Structure 1
Amino acid sequence: MNLGLYRSPVAHSDASLWALQFAALPDDIAGLAQVLQGLLVHEHMPDLYGITLSDRQRGEPHVRGAGEILERIAVHDSRPLSHPRPPGERFAGCCRHYALLLVAMLRSKGIAARARCGFGAYFTTDRFVDHWVTEYFDAAQGRWILADAQIDDRQRALFGIDFDTLDVPREKFLVAGDAWRLCRAGRADPQAFGVLDMAGLWFIASNVIRDVAALNNREMLPWDVWGGMTLVDSEIDPAFIDGVARLTHEPDRHLVELRTVYDDPRIAVPPTVFNAVRGRPEAVSPFAHSA
């Protein structure tokens, strides 16, 4: 198993000089999750914390890189990261920001970690919601573990979650490729996978592309659109997504193939992507092919 690809911060997970702060943080996953919960607030849950997002916070979910996220946190509040901020003063992000920062923190400590794009089954009944978590390798147990650093006590109560969100059962979070394979086999309804009023095979296929990009250390925003993504089921190349989804099920067995398929223009993140929330193209920092 080649863990080296996921041990070093690169591209979006590279916090640059801000990573110096990570040395003072806890080494355990629970401690790091608690730190993140004191730094971030989910952009769609301000009411849960009794706040209204400020103008500053409303723009923050579109920040892509860990370095810029931490810079913005520090500029607003220069205290060490271990000091929890009041909800109204936190950086406003989404699930992907929690996942990315946890990846950055774990990699800085030499722990293999990667962001995974897929669908969570623990937010609403009979629906798999568009979601990101962190997957890290526990050397003592010899296995990859899914950790959802977003879920704090308030969210646990709100969603009625009764399992350990720092060791999410695989049936509770489906990586996008597994969701695709279930639907293609007729074992799940594609309309159960999505967010708000957006769902279907096209949504799942787009998340498969995002997950492959993340497995190649390109953790994009959940609403970044590029390459082979489409809003119409009929425009999907199902055979192509079938093959890619198979690779993401056991990525460590298929790292060479995953890196090769990333060169396909339907998968590779271009210099400019379309931000579907803002409705505009946006430049992405150039990426060197990671080692």
Structure 2
Amino acid sequence: MDLDRYRTTVAMSDPGRRAGLFDNLPRDPSALAKAVQGLLIHEHIAPAYGVTLSRDQHAQAHIRGVEQILDQIVARDDRPLSASRGAGERQVGVCRHFTLLHVAMLRRHGVAARARCGFGAYFERSQYIDHWVTEYWDEANGRWVLFDAQLDECQRELFGVSFDPADVPRDQFLVAGDAWSHCRSGQADPNAFGILDMHGLWFIAGNIIRDIAALNNREMLPWDVWGAMRLKDSELDQSFFDRLAVVSSEPDAHTDELVALYGDERVGVPRVVFNAVRNCPQKL
């Protein structure tokens, strides 16, 4: 198992010239999650904090890189990142932004961490909602731990979350490959996986590609579309996704294949992706 590839801030997790902002933060994953929660607000949960977002604030959810996220945070408030901002003054993002910033902070302190794309069972009853969480290596116990850095006290109460977000049970968050395998084996209904009016194997397949990309340190927006992603179940190469699902489920047991798959144009992130929310192609 190659932990070193997840100890370095690269590509979108790289804070760049803002790296020094992380240096005075604690190393503890829970303390870092609290810092993230004081810096970000979820685009679609803002009303729970009494915040109505402007058009410009909504646009912040399309920012991909940590350096650019930090640019905007300190432009509004140059206090240390440990200082919680008022809810209406926080940077707007979605689960992927909470995860990516948490991962970047952990990596800056030498902790192996990676973003995982999949589905949370704790937002709507009997539904697995499109979601991202952090997965970090717990040296003391020799295992990967799922951590939902988005779930502060407000959201735990809002969604009735009873487990510890610092150690999310694997049946409460399914990485995309596990979701696919559960559905293909008949253990789960594909129509329970997705978000809003988008559900099915095609949606799970898209998240498998996003998860494989994230495992190769390319943490894309949840609505970025490329490669073998499709809009209908009937258009999927299911045998190909069966194999991708195995790698997503057990990435450390298939390290060489994980890297090789990213070299496949059906999986690897190209220079131009389609932003499905803005309905337009975007250069990276």
2-structure distance, mates of 1:281, 1:169: 36
Q: Secondary structure at the match of 2:158?
A: helix
1-structure distance, mates of 2:244, 2:46: 36
1:92 Cα deviation after fit? 0.5
1:164-196 CA deviation, whole Å, 9 max, x = no partner?
A: 011000000000000000000011000000001
Aligned 8 A contact 2:176 2:249 in 1: no
2:4: which partner in 1?
4
1-structure distance, mates of 2:242, 2:98: 29
User: 1:215-254 counterparts in 2 under 5 A?
Assistant: 215-254=215-254
Q: Does 1:264 align with 2:264?
A: yes
AA paired with 1:60?
Answer: Q
User: 1:79-90 counterparts in 2 under 5 A?
Assistant: 79-90=79-90
1:267 Cα deviation after fit? 0.2
User: 1:79-158 counterparts in 2 under 5 A?
Assistant: 79-158=79-158
2-structure distance, mates of 1:57, 1:77: 15
2-structure distance, mates of 1:19, 1:157: 33
1:29-82 CA deviation, whole Å, 9 max, x = no partner?
A: 111011011000000012100011123311100000011001110111111111
Aligned 8 A contact 2:11 2:217 in 1: yes
Q: Write out the 4+ residue segments of structure 1 that deviate beyond 3 Å after TM superposition.
A: none
- Gapped regions of structure 2 (runs ≥ 5): none
2-structure distance, mates of 1:57, 1:25: 26
2-structure distance, mates of 1:56, 1:86: 17
TM-score scaled by length of structure 1: 0.97
Identity of matched residues, % = 59
1:255: which partner in 2?
255
TM-score scaled by length of structure 2: 0.99
1:84 Cα deviation after fit? 0.5
2-structure distance, mates of 1:2, 1:29: 20
